[in-house]
């Protein structure tokens, strides 16, 4: 057996996956956990690769390992080789009609809480060969990820058509003024009367508001509409996540704008109340967008069908709470 042949036999897909995990994680221990291997097995695979490639792949540091120049130069080719191997397996499965492989789904925060677990359950039961990866972010970030081909599909909030990606409407949701019931009661309703069933945009001038940091779809729409009506809002804080906004609602006398499904758990337990805005423009379209930069695989089609099948029912259930 020649040296070249022996080296090729050491370059197994298993060892290359371990190498990629160690480089990206910066630790052989983390690579062992990710790969489900003993650390001794990881060390043995790395040693075999070093013998095959003729050089060291890592420096040991006090915090783990650091890739050598050889490892850094190898990583792009290793990643490409692993992707090609996955594509080969996926092609074989597709030719036999079995959806398989990785599908990356983006979710906006308002639906991630109830959609991710429900969708995983459906995928695991009906398509066990599919691996689901969920990325959470705001609609604008998901649009960019779709356009760059970093994710396969995403559930987004839309207020108007845009972009080159393909869209399928899943549900509609009215944007609501959200706050603690007693806070909204004190600011909006006369004593001993119920909260209004809906409210006009101009009423927001009476409320201290916590709003998303622009650019943000709801914030952009709000700024546009209040500008047209000449309204002046009292924005006491801007936050870059719904976690920050909800925290402010829980601790301070203020309100924000969110669709009902984004606060369904809080509405169910009575910690928050939601009053829809009357203006039709404040109607949110929840859509499934697919990337124009990635092939729409059999696995992707299966996940997209499950999203369409489950999202509408889930959204309707959240909306009536």
At residue 317, the pLDDT reads: 63
Query: Does position 236 have pLDDT exceeding 70, yes or no?
Result: yes
Q: If you average pLDDT over residues 93-99, what whole number do you get? A: 77
At residue 321, the pLDDT reads: 43
Question: Domains of the chain, with CATH numbers?
Answer: 3-93 (1.10.10.10), 101-171+288-319 (3.40.190.10), 172-284 (3.40.190.290)
Three-class secondary structure of residue 185 per DSSP: helix
- Which band of pLDDT confidence, cut at 50, 70 and 90, is reported for residue 151? very high
At residue 320, the pLDDT reads: 46
Residues 6+ apart with CB under 8 A from 121: none
Give yes or no for a contact between 18 and 37, defined as CB atoms under 8 angstroms apart: yes
Query: Does position 198 have pLDDT exceeding 60, yes or no?
Result: yes
At residue 247, the pLDDT reads: 92
Residues 6+ apart with CB under 8 A from 123: 130, 132, 302, 303, 306
User: pTM score, two decimals?
Assistant: 0.64
Give yes or no for a contact between 115 and 135, defined as CB atoms under 8 angstroms apart: no
Distance of CA 254 to the CA centre of its chain: 28
Give the DSSP per-residue string, 213-233.
Answer: PSS-HHHHHHHHHHHHHT---
- Which band of pLDDT confidence, cut at 50, 70 and 90, is reported for residue 265? confident
Q: Say how many CA atoms lie within 13 Å of 103 toward its Cβ.
A: 30
Q: If you average pLDDT over residues 90-109, what whole number do you get? A: 84
Tell me what the pLDDT averaged over the chain comes to. 86
The pairing of beta strand 153-158 with beta strand 283-290: antiparallel
How does pLDDT run across 40-68, given as a tens digit for each residue? 998 999 999 888 888 999 988 878 889 99
How does pLDDT run across 110-138, given as a tens digit for each residue? 788 788 999 999 999 999 999 999 999 88
């Amino acid at each position: 057996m020649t040296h070249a042949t022996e080296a090729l036999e050491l370059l197994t897909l298993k060892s290359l996956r371990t190498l990629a995990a160690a480089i990206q994680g910066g630790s052989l221990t983390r690579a062992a956990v990710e790969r489900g291997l003993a650390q001794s097995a990881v060390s043995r695979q790395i040693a075999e690769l070093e013998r095959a490639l003729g050089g060291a792949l890592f420096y040991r540091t006090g915090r783990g390992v650091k890739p050598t120049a050889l490892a850094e130069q190898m990583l792009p080719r290793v990643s490409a080789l692993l992707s090609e191997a996955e594509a080969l397996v996926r092609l074989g499965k597709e030719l036999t009609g079995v959806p398989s492989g990785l599908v990356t789904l983006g979710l906006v925060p308002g639906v991630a809480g109830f959609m991710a677990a429900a969708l995983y359950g459906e995928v695991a039961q009906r398509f066990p060969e599919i691996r689901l990866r969920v990325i959470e972010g705001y609609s604008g970030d998901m649009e960019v990820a779709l356009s760059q081909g970093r994710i396969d599909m995403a559930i987004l909030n839309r207020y108007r058509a845009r972009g080159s990606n393909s869209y399928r409407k899943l549900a509609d949701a009215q944007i609501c003024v959200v706050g603690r019931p007693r806070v909204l009661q004190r600011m909006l309703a006369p004593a001993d009367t119920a909260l209004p069933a809906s409210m006009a945009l101009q009423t927001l001038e009476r409320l201290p508001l916590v709003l998303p940091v622009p650019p943000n779809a709801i914030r952009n729409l709000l700024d546009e509409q209040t500008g047209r009506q000449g309204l002046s809002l009292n924005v006491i804080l801007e936050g870059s996540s719904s976690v920050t906004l909800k925290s402010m609602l829980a601790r301070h006398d203020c309100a924000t704008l969110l669709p009902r499904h984004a606060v369904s758990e809080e509405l169910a337990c009575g910690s928050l109340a939601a009053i829809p805005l009357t203006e039709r423009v404040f109607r949110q379209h929840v859509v499934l967008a697919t990337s124009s930069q990635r092939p729409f695989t059999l696995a992707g089609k299966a996940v997209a069908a499950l999203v369409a099948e489950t999202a509408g029912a889930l959204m309707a259930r959240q909306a009536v709470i």
